[in-house]
Structure 1
Amino acid sequence: MLKTQKISLKKTISNMLKLQDSGYYSTLIGIGPMSSNLLQASFELAKDEDFPLMFIASRNQVDKAELGGGYVNGWNQQTFSDAIKVEAEKAHFHGLYYLCRDHGGPWQRDKERNDHLPVDEAMARAKESYLADIKAGFDLLMIDPTKDPFQMGKVVDLDKIIKWTVELIEFCESQRIELGLPEIGYEVGTEETNGGLTTTDRYETFIQRLKAELNQKDLPMPTFIVGQTGTLTRLTEQVGDWNFQNALDLSTMAKKYGVGLKEHNADYMDDVSLLLHNSAHITASNVAPQYGTEETRAYLKLVQVEQSLYSNGLIDKPSRLHEVLLDRAIRTERWRKWMEGDDVNLKVDDILKNSKLSAEILDISGHYAFNDPDTKNEIKNLYQNLAKNSIDGQRFVVEHIKRPIQQYVKDLNLTGLTSKIESI
């Protein structure tokens, strides 16, 4: 049986800040849940290494069907929560794990932003989504009203951001209390490099003003405040300029107000930068597309194995996984957010005619097509062909995903953290 009660995420971060006072530093990973395989890999590792898990889902990934649903396994908030419980039970995991809303708020679905929804309608949809989060047992809600389509490309307007942030926290707290649910944490701020919370002065101004507004309404302070440490993900690389001193300054500032510094876009980071995260006192970092890319790469390696088996007469008919996954991934067009320059506007048909470019885009966007029915059918065919030759394809995929997670677990000093948190 899983524990019926657990330490809240807010309490976990509070205890991590206490551990910092004794000279013990760790950085949690916010894992983007791209698939059931990733959930399985995460739970197995967390069980072995004794650290808390945070699963972060954007509204594009997981949301109510009435609001457009999500591209990850077709999960809505409740089926996402249910799937995570199932994977935890399968792994016999009895530790801490948290469901987290990443980038909740108005205009956070691509369609809402592209349609330039009016403020009132966008806020109403955000509240509807948050209510579904709360009912499904989410532990952390990111309040992010920074994607205003009428202000794109401009410096973030802190007056508007604070006003909308407070309104949304007030709504969520009223719903949580009305439903009789335990405390949840909130994450606020923005990782935007254009006018975001990049300097300690601007960061503290935001915290002070937000704190004053929240106190006036008797609302809780957030658990995390996002700050820009220099991270930036493009294609399958970390192209940002991670800044140790800026990270330390921001985390020190956040701790002064009893909250943790949250870092976004921490994919594909090198060991040196990751090891320095502990000394920079960053409490949590988000990693998402990297793990989706690793799963795609695992499938493509298995396709190579399958082709070799076919060439040697050991299977009758190979799957069409590579062909189908490539086509479906490119047609999602979700890869555009990871591209730079003129490549952002490339036409799908032109990409499909260019084998080198197609392969590059498949690498960064294969995970967007994992839930496609034809893709799932070809994965099944692949596994069956491999099984005839004593190869467990699904286990290989899970172990392949574990590799980059393990790097972060070790570098970010996560081993044994759950036991330390629970002992305080």
Structure 2
Amino acid sequence: MAEGQKLSIKQAITGILKLQDQGRYSTLIGIGPMSSNLLKASFELARDEDFPLMFIASRNQVDKDELGGGYVNGWNQQTFAADIKQVAADTDFTGLYYLCRDHGGPWQRDEERNAHLSVEKAMHLAKESYLADIEAGFDLLMIDPTKDPFQMGKVVDLDKIIEWTVELLEFCETERKKRNLPEIGYEVGTEETNGGLTTTERYETFIKKLQAELSSRDLPMPSFIVGQTGTLTRLTEQVGHWNYANAIDLAKMAKKYGVGLKEHNADYMDDETLLLHNPAHITASNVAPQYGTEETRAYLKLIKVERRLKKEGLIKQASNLYDVLLDKAIRTERWRKWMEGDDVNLKVEDVLQDERLSTEILDISGHYAFNDPAVKKEIKTLYANLQANNIDGTRFVIEHIKRPLLQYIKDLNLTGLTTALKSL
């Protein structure tokens, strides 16, 4: 690799697989970019701990303005890339970071799936979104055509998934080459439990069929293939049953074909499970809502401090952040995906009238409303009240987010990984 040239994500994954052969095991974290504060926390830790960052953005979070934009900071692909570059500069980060499309593909925006768009329309919009990703310099694209609204609840049809995956990957490679852009990595597969890639046999069947189709079109193999290790996030808990035997079998199977096993829904894991990830040879795990929840909890703690300042006569007027954030978060209705049972279909007004339930949903979904103008205004007031009393609210939030990040960094053996990869 030439001096100063960035190690591509494909090279990084190949490097991680080589390091496994040398006895070093590490599991990358795919970080859902829930806010600018999370970006700062991530870059500061990656700078100090010397490991590569992967920021995984879903289409709901980051997308073209013409397709509806994203709920995180109103980011489209270009502003997302620019803001991340700026935070890297602001934190003196000179290591590796990768922009990654999480769950790209047809019907991956909530409104597209809810509208039951036709295959043709959904694929067209998916390609529009991918093209914006490519032009913005994304390093990894997840090709995920599994959200077909006409097949929800049915066993995943792997042949159909492979057909659409190949079509989308071929489109992306063609557009990348037209623009003479550097190589990008791809992530494929499905985390679904209803006939997804849950067994070694089904996993290898998928890989073999995909490899044959890609080879016949002179297309690259993906860097990651997602497999189901038993993870499942609901509310603010890891409610799945992580399976070491399944994880190691899937990882070894993926490595046979030169790709890494990617795990989704790895939020809220305990130390025991995380420490077992390296002997299970998992190359990367995605974590997203946990970091949003951690930031919400930081604000809630600061709200209590602010209320105490008012009680002690140290400020005249407290912010109304709690009530505004609670109301806006519940009205997003994005919390439904993390609920269980009948709670999935609760009416917004009924939730707002139930103090216990509304508090629980705020914990889950506060981050969905961080970009709301009314919420931002109250956060500004909160910070000003704290600053008047020599409390740095922003720094507290960033450090609060670092707590679960550091747990994963240490347990997944990420410290020093960038230097190890560059030494290969």
Task: State how far apart, in whole Å, the 2-side matches of 1:364 and 1:152 are.
Answer: 24
- The alignment status of 1:232 with 2:232, answered yes or no, reads yes
1:96 paired residue number: 96
Name the CA distance, whole Å, in 1 between partners of 2:159 and 2:195: 13
> 1:13-412 counterparts in 2 under 5 A?
13-412=13-412
The one-letter amino acid paired with 2:191 is E
TM-score by length of 2: 0.99
Question: Which whole-Å CA distance do the structure 1 matches of 2:186 and 2:64 have between them?
Answer: 20
Matched position secondary structure for 2:78: helix
Tell me how far 1:361 sits from its aligned partner.
Answer: 0.1
Distance 2:218 2:210 in 1: 12
DSSP-derived class of the 1:278 partner: coil
Encode CA deviations 1:348-376: one digit per residue, 9 max, x unaligned: 11111111111000000000000000000
Structure 1 counterpart of 2:238, one-letter code = Q
What per-residue deviation string (whole Å, max 9, x for no partner) do you get for residues 233-283 of structure 1?
A: 000000000000100000000000000000000000000000000000000
> 1:73-105: CA deviations, max 9, x gaps?
000000000010010000000000000000000
Aligned to 1:423: 423
- Measure the CA separation in 2 of the matches of 1:42 and 1:327: 29
Separation in structure 2 between the aligned mates of residue 149 and residue 335 of structure 1, nearest angstrom: 19
Amino acid in structure 2 at the alignment position of 1:400: H
Q: Secondary structure at the match of 1:29?
A: strand
| SS at 2:54 equivalent | strand
Q: Which amino acid aligns with 1:58?
A: S
Q: CA RMSD in A?
A: 0.6
Q: CA deviation at 1:185?
A: 0.2
* Equivalent position amino acid for 2:342 in 1: D
1:193 maps to amino acid: T
Q: Distance in 2 between matches of 1:170 and 1:42?
A: 33
Separation in structure 2 between the aligned mates of residue 355 and residue 314 of structure 1, nearest angstrom:
29
Task: Output one character per residue of 1:166-212: Cα deviation in whole Å (capped at 9) or x when no partner.
Answer: 00000000000000100000000010111100000000000000000
Q: Which amino acid aligns with 2:144?
A: D
Distance in structure 2 (CA, Å) of the matches to 1:300 and 1:222: 41
Task: Structure 2: give runs of 5+ residues left out of the alignment.
Answer: none
SS at match of 1:33: coil
> Which runs of structure 1 show a deviation greater than 3 angstroms over 4 or more consecutive aligned residues?
none
Amino acid of the structure 2 residue aligned with 1:212:
A
> Deviation at 1:23?
1.0
State the one-letter code of the partner of 1:172: C
Q: Take 2:4 and 2:336, find their aligned partners in 1: how far apart are those partners?
A: 42
Q: What is the CA distance between 1:159 and its match in structure 2?
A: 1.0
Distance across 2 between alignment mates of 1:83 and 1:235 = 30
Q: In the aligned structure 1, how far is the partner of 2:291 from the partner of 2:278? A: 22
User: Partners in 2 of 1:107 and 1:4 — Cα distance?
Assistant: 39
CA distance in 1, matches of 2:4, 2:289: 31
Structure 2 CA distance, aligned partners of 1:359 and 1:277?
33
Residue 409 of structure 1 aligns to a residue whose secondary structure is helix
Question: Deviations 1:392-418 (Å, cap 9, x if unpaired)?
Answer: 000000000000000000000000000
Deviation for aligned residue 1:4: 6.1
CA distance in 2, matches of 1:83, 1:238: 31
Indicate the percent of aligned positions where both proteins have the same amino acid: 77
Q: Distance in 1 between matches of 2:183 and 2:48?
A: 28
Count of residue pairs brought into register by the alignment: 422
> Partner of 1:279: helix, strand, or coil?
coil
- Alpha-carbon distance in structure 2 between the residues aligned to 1:354 and 1:232: 26
| Structure-2 change in CA distance of 1:328 and 1:4 (3 Å) | farther
Distance 2:155 2:343 in 1: 25
Task: Quote the Cα distance in structure 2 between the aligned partners of 1:170 and 1:4.
Answer: 29
Q: Following the alignment from structure 1 to structure 2, what is the Cα–Cα distance between the partners of residues 388 and 315?
A: 8
Q: 1: distance between equivalents of 2:314 and 2:193? A: 53
> Deviations for 1:302-341, whole angstroms, at most 9, x for unmatched residues?
0000000000000010000001000000000000000000
SS at match of 2:277: helix
User: Residue type of the partner of 1:374?
Assistant: A
Per-residue deviation, 1:5:
3.0
Normalising by structure 1, report the TM-score. 0.99
SS in 2 for 1:94: coil
**Structure 2 counterpart of 1:379, one-letter code:** I
